[in-house]
Amino acid sequence: MALVNQAKREINAKIVFFGPGQAGKGTSLRHVFNKLKPEFRGALKVMSVQGARMLFFDFTPPGDGNVDGFRVRFHLYTVSGPLVDPAAWKMVLKGADGVVFVADSAPQRLADNQAALGQLVEYLKGYGQSLTTMPTILQYNKSDLADAAALAELEQQLNPSRLVSFKTSSHTGEGVLQGLMALVKSILTGLRAKGTDAIASSEGLQQMVEPPAAAARPAVEPPAAPAPARPAAAAVPEPPVAPVTPSAPAAPEEAPLSLEIAGDPVATGDVVRVPLTIRSGDREKTVVLTLSLGLSEE
């Protein structure tokens, strides 16, 4: 689920590239990274997780990507390797806001695609999600190869839910960015349905790979001033008929807890420290989450 960073006025959303081994997940993510201009993205990072490689980076859509005065930052993740431990996928999928399912278009990989799709359904179910509730697109990768299966066959075998699908080639980049663009728009539509006012235009991602138009960014409206507190009403004394035993005061309603990222994660060697702020009503506490991970060079 999307997380709000009040300190930075950001909404952080996660997109996961999921699929069978060697289908082109990592290549697709790298293609997106290489196409985005540096001013719109962070660094591409690689970590060793459960014997596989986790690749991730973040980017912010320009202009209309703001939602209610909050900038939207998308974090793209995948786990690369021929065999990935289910625990690694479950960790990466936790809190996801959208999924790109990368299928291999080779006919001999049909069983692998179906098995991976079944795993995705199982993992999402563990988080109370499904392919119909989680924004998901299908990416039929390697469709440029001579032995690639026909689109109609892939749709019949892998897309009974009628998800939005794209023929792609992570080698040339054909269709990869277009698929991501559609998923980003779907996620932001969901944010708007929850009460947001703005959504990135369909040209938003394209502005990051082509010269952006010379247009001023819309001004962010400051937050409304808090309403003045009402004075407590004066108590009216009761007639002195008989003493009344006062009832016990009702217990105050417990304010809900909220968890926010308080700053940028700091990586030192194989240790990553993430500052977090925990709030409950007018109380808050800042803690540091320390993760010990093995780093590997790409």
Number of separate domains in the chain: 2
Cβ neighbours of residue 160 under 8 Å, at least 6 residues apart? none
Q: Is the entire prediction scored with pTM above 0.75?
A: no
Residue 289 belongs to a domain: yes
Using the CB atoms, write b or e for 19-54: b if 16+ within 10 Å. bbbbbbbbbbbbbbbebbeeebbbebebbebeebbb
Euclidean distance between CA atoms 84 and 256, whole angstroms: 36
Q: What is the CATH number of the domain that holds 105?
A: 3.40.50.300
* pLDDT tens-digit series, residues 10-64: 899 999 999 999 999 999 999 999 999 999 999 999 999 888 999 999 999 766 6
On whether both 169 and 263 belong to a single domain, the answer is no
The Cα-based distances of 79 to 93, 164, 267 in angstroms read: 10, 23, 19
On whether both 26 and 146 belong to a single domain, the answer is yes
On whether both 204 and 269 belong to a single domain, the answer is no
Residue 217 belongs to a domain: no
On whether both 162 and 280 belong to a single domain, the answer is no
Return the higher-pLDDT residue of 201 and 19: 19
Q: What is the pLDDT of residue 269?
A: 58
Q: Which structural domain, as residue segments, surrounds residue 282? A: 257-295
Return the higher-pLDDT residue of 62 and 141: 141
On whether both 33 and 162 belong to a single domain, the answer is yes
> In this model, does residue 240 exceed pLDDT 70?
no
On whether both 8 and 130 belong to a single domain, the answer is yes
The two tokens of residue 160 are 């009974």
On whether both 13 and 119 belong to a single domain, the answer is yes
Q: What is the pLDDT of residue 244?
A: 45
Residue 190 belongs to a domain: yes
On whether both 133 and 197 belong to a single domain, the answer is yes
Residue 276 belongs to a domain: yes
Residue 215 belongs to a domain: no
On whether both 278 and 188 belong to a single domain, the answer is no
* pLDDT tens-digit series, residues 78-94: 999 888 999 999 999 99
* pLDDT tens-digit series, residues 243-253: 444 444 544 55
What are the backbone angles phi and psi of residue 140, rounded to the nearest 5°? Answer: -85, 90
On whether both 168 and 104 belong to a single domain, the answer is yes
On whether both 276 and 128 belong to a single domain, the answer is no
Eight-state DSSP code of residue 146: T
The H or E element spanning position 158 is helix 151-158
Q: What is the pLDDT of residue 20?
A: 97
Q: What is the pLDDT of residue 202?
A: 37
